[in-house]
Amino acid sequence: MHTPTLLTLGLMIALTGCNTSPPAPAPAAPSVSPASLQKQKPKLPKWVRQDRYTLANTQPTLEQRQPLYQLINVQIAPALHANVGEALRHVLQRSGYSLCPDSAAVDRLFSRPLPAVHHQLGPISLLDALTIIGGPAWRINIDPVDRTVCYTLRSPQPKPPLSTSEIAP
């Protein structure tokens, strides 16, 4: 007798449970000005195919970003009797950096004979080579704007080691 009504009522209750609420409105996107779109850096691929089996990295290397970190091999013939200033100029060749103009203070360093152990250095970073050739009594000052390398005398001067056992490897 009331079977179709009960069936309809049961179907309505079942469908009511499946009903979902309408989606919440999306938050309004901030307005983007055309000037800010121009400032956004385009996404470049990290790798590009150069040949059939060769992929090339498009990101700059550390040495390209910081030229003083490039690895170098230095060989100065002992027969040249080079001094420290000549050796530093030789090391800085093709690096993009130059030595500060000579002054009375650094002339003391630059006129010293190059130690025999410094006639052959490397592979070593350019910055480490400049520090080693200058020696522990001199502080290296680098001007990234003018790309110059200067030396100033450390104050107080470091004490010389008493033996090689004091130097940590």
Does the pLDDT value for residue 107 go beyond 60?
Answer: yes
pLDDT number for residue 84: 95
Does the pLDDT value for residue 95 go beyond 70?
Answer: yes
Mean pLDDT across the chain: 83
Q: What is the dihedral of CA 94, 98, 102, 105, to 10 degrees?
A: -120
**Which pTM value belongs to this model?**
0.66
CATH topology of domain 66-160: Phage tail protein beta-alpha-beta fold (3.55.50)
pLDDT digits (tens, 9 = 90+) for 37-89: 567 777 888 888 888 889 888 888 888 889 999 999 999 988 888 999 999 99
8 A C-beta contact, residue 87 and residue 118: yes
Read off φ and ψ for residue 72, nearest 5 degrees.
Answer: -130, 160
Q: Biggest alpha carbon distance in the chain?
A: 121
